[in-house]
Structures are given as structure tokens and as C-alpha cells.
Amino acid sequence: MSDYVADFMAHIKAKNPSEPEFHQAVKEVVESVTTVLDKHPEYRKAKVLERISEPERVIMFRVPWMDDQGGYHVNRGFRIEMNSAIGPYKGGLRLHPSVNLGILKFLAFEQVFKNSLTTLPMGGGKGGSDFDPKGKSDDEVMRFCQGFMSELYRHIGPNTDIPAGDIGVGGREIGYLFGTYKKIRNEFTGILTGKGLNWGGSLIRPEATGYGAVYFAAEMLATRGESLEGKTCLVSGSGNVAQYATEKILDLGGKVVTLSDSGGYIHDPDGVDRDKLAFVMDLKNVRRGRITEYVEKYSSATYTAVDPGADCNPLWDHKAECAFPSATQNEINVKDAENLVNNGVYVVSEGANMPTVPEGVDVFLNKKILYGPGKAANAGGVAVSGLEMSQNSMRYSWTREEVDSKLHGIMKSIHKSCVEASEKYGTPGNYVNGANIAGFLKVADAMLDQGIFG
Ligand code: NDP
Ligand code: 2IT
């Protein structure tokens, strides 16, 4: 680690104690952009890195809600408004018991660079709560969302901050949040993305993150004259991103042999075909069940419970060519990364945000595999959110084909930006540096243009 990075990180850690995920995300970007700062002293002079790693605003609030038995509960709500240099704050809301300030700051920080890569005018933000939607009734989730929005509405607006979904927030939650905003403000506006199709949502938004991660993998493979046809793929998660990554892998002729949830994973050597995927979608989205039910229905598959404290996750220890981690942060540790490459995996396209620990990323970079980091590979979701905002502003909607083709074009453009930036700054083939540098430059230049408040 250079002295500059070490000093910078000491300052970040002192100022933001007990936020390891935030430190991890910042360190990766600082390491990547050091060469840019060396070439362009104007960024150092204007303290762009110091400013970019300090949220413009952090909102923390109480969310009281009542359960079906009349019992009172209180959770903590957050919105991190990280950076608005290139557009209004934009980013998802996460509902998961692990949510805390540091996790949301890491996600908001990543979002700034990701949104910059999309080519669309969106700043970065993230929010959520430590509320656990698992096991709650629809009414309880609705009352929680109403409580959450009854505070959040003061801070957001269609030209200020536009939230969307993330872990634990899908169409159902966006509906309850939207209804509450509309009631309080008496205003029908594109305040959230991921809306239902008949009340302002965009076609392809549910599919966009998973499809985008697969388009990104296809672009990386194309640099070697290859495609996804016939490739065996490991997918983790079984939520929104994992489901549509699986669908697009099937479209492009690949085979998905794993899916997971926080309890464990299924391995189906015959592959998850379209019927099995439809079963998983119903299981997870409608019945809100567990992935273990897959093996009760399909005898070709086995289920393995995963101990989060174990030294590796057996999901990543199967023969395959491609991996699409699509569950959560730091789900691939260094041993998992070694297992992946030893099993023949040479394409990793991250549907999740920061799913690989830094030492695992080093394994991928040292082996020179095709490694697409989350902020590039999963940018398709927020990109179509940006397209949803455009359609809302126009009071218009594009067809499925139009949105999919724009998404595909954006993923190609992100891939190209990463390749070009990594080459220009001396690390060809390193998509981590490419994504960080390309994402950084656009935001940093906007901050310079706008002066000290930019
Ligand atoms: P969902 O809530 O739809 O699904 C999350 C999946 O990951 C579930 O299968 C869940 O299992 C599993 N999971 C969640 N937390 C953990 C954990 N701590 N350990 C193991 N498994 C876990 O979320 P999404 O599919 O939307 O999000 C998945 C990832 O993709 C996240 O990293 C998110 O930030 C990222 N992402 C999402 C985008 C979007 O548009 N939705 C856009 C870009 C990135 P279980 O059911 O047991 O909780
Ligand atoms: O991490 C992400 O990019 C998201 N959860 C999607 C954000 C959005 O505004 O669509």
C-alpha cells in the first residue's frame, strides 16, 4: 500500500469508526485512482477524494410500526445522500436486519461511481432499515413502509433524491412506499423507481440488474472471441438479481447449476431450466418460501445448508466456467475465490454489490480472469431506473424491446469505458481499475466545475 493510500485510509477510519464495509469500498477506489491523482494534481488540490468520501447528508430516523397483534416496534431508518455532482441522489433501499450506517455508506459510495458509469445523469445515494421483512405479513410490511415514508418524504423529491429497491425491497414494498408518498404530498410523481407497470413503472426494470450482469459477462467473453453458449454458471442468491441473471443466461445458451438463499444452496447438475426458474420465482416472490423446497420438487438437485462462519462456501466449489454472485456483500472470501479459479471459473460478473472480499479480488486479478466488479456489472438496474425517470418526465413509456436495447447499449458502453480507462492508466484487462477510474473522472470533473460546493 502506498503512503498516500495508507494516510488517506487512516483518516477515513478515524473519522468513520466501526464501518468496515465503508472502509473496504473506499480503499479500493483510492487505490485505483492514485495514478489519476498523480497525473492530475488539480483533483488533490481541490480535495476531491476527501469530499467524495464524505456524504453530502446522512439522515437517520426512528420508524415505529405496529404488528398484527397490536404490538409496538421500532426500527432505525436511514438515507445516505452521498453525492449530487452529476444528478439527483439515486439508489436503492435495503430492508435487512444487518443494515447499519456503515453498510449503507459503502453502498451509497459504490452507487456514486456506478451511476456515473451508466452515462445517465444520476448522483449517488442509498437507504434502508434494519427491519426484517422475513416472516412478516403483508399488512405488517405495509405499516412499516408507511412509517418509513412518513419521515423519508421530507428529504426526497423527483429532482432531489429518488430511491428504488435493493435487498428486501421489491415491487410490493415500492407500492406501499409510493402510496404513502402520494398521500402525504398529494402528488403523483416519479419519486421511486421499480414502480408497477400500470402506475409509472418501466418495462424491464425488474429484469435489468440480472440481465445487465449477463450482458456484461458476454461483453467480457467477447474480448476473447467467446460467448455464454454452453457455459456452466454458478449463481448465488435466488432473489431479484439471481432470478433474472438465470433467465438471461438461459436466453444466451448457458446452464445455471446453483442458486441459494441465506440458509444454503441448491446444486442441480441438470441445470435450472425455464420451468424450474418459474417455480423459483413463484417460491421466492409469491410464496416467500425457502430455496430448500427446490429439492423437494426436483430430485436432480441437492441442498446443502451453509454455515456463514465456515472457512468457505461450498457453492463456489463446483466445476464451472462462469460465476454470478448475486446475494450480498463479501459472500466470496479468499478461499472461495481460490476454489472458483481451481474449478475452472474464468468469468466472474458481480450481480451483487461488493460480493468479493479484497483478497479474493486479488486472486481474480492475479489469475487474469475476466472479473467484472459490481459497480460495473450490476449497473443495469440503476440504468433502467434512470430510463424509468426519463419516461416519467416525458409522461411516456417505451416498449420492452426499446428498454432492453437501451440497457444492452448501456452495458456495452460501461464495458468499453472500463476497458479504455484501464488501458489508459496502465492496467489493461483490470476492470476494477477501469470502473473506478472511469466512474471517478466524470464525478470529479463535475465537482471541479461546480466549485467547493460541487
Ligand atoms: P433480494 O432481496 O431480491 O434477494 C436477495 C437474495 O440474497 C436472497 O436470495 C437472499 O436470501 C440472499 N441474501 C441476502 N442477504 C444474505 C446474506 N446476508 N447471506 C446470504 N444470502 C443473503 O435482493 P436483490 O436480488 O435485489 O439483491 C441482491 C444483491 O444485488 C444485493 O447485493 C444488492 O445490493 C445487489 N443489487 C441489486 C439491484 C437491484 O436492482 N435489485 C441492483 C444492483 C445490485 P434470503 O431470501 O434468505 O434473505
Ligand atoms: O445497488 C443498486 O444499484 C440498486 N439497488 C438499484 C438502485 C436504483 O436506483 O435502481
**What are 386-411's pLDDT values in tens digits?**
999 999 999 999 999 999 999 999 99
- Reference 103, options 78, 73, 122; nearest CA is 78
- Domain 208-377 CATH superfamily: NAD(P)-binding Rossmann-like Domain (3.40.50.720)
Counting ligands in written order, the one closest to the CA of 170 is: 1
With a 6 Å cutoff on the Cβ, whether 351 touches ligand 1 is yes
Give the whole-angstrom CA distance, residue 345 versus residue 336: 11
Q: What is the mean pLDDT of residues 106-124?
A: 98
CA triplet 173, 188, 178: central angle to 5 degrees? 10
Q: Give 132-160 pLDDT, tens digit per residue.
A: 999 999 999 999 999 999 999 999 999 99
Task: With beta carbons less than 8 A apart as the criterion, state whether 58 and 100 touch.
Answer: no
- With a pLDDT cut of 90, the percent of the chain lying above it is 99
Give the whole-angstrom CA distance, residue 197 versus residue 177: 15
Give the residue whose CA is nearest to atom 39 of ligand 1: 166
- Reference 255, options 238, 240, 277, 239; nearest CA is 277
Q: Give 178-189 pLDDT, tens digit per residue.
A: 999 999 999 999
Pocket test for ligand 2, best of 89, 162, 167, 209 (most atoms within 8 A of CB): 209
Q: Give 335-347 pLDDT, tens digit per residue.
A: 999 999 999 999 9
Q: Would you say the CATH fold of 208-377 matches that of 3-190?
A: yes
Give the residue whose CA is nearest to atom 9 of ligand 2: 91
Q: Give 2-35 pLDDT, tens digit per residue.
A: 888 999 999 999 999 999 999 999 999 999 999 9
Which one is catalytic: 105, 126, 335, 406? 126
Which run of H or E residues covers position 266? strand 264-267
Q: What is the mean pLDDT of the chain?
A: 98
CATH 3.40.50.10860 correct for 3-190:
yes
User: Domain spans of the chain?
Assistant: 3-190, 208-377
**126 in active site:** yes
| pLDDT greater than 80 at residue 371 | yes
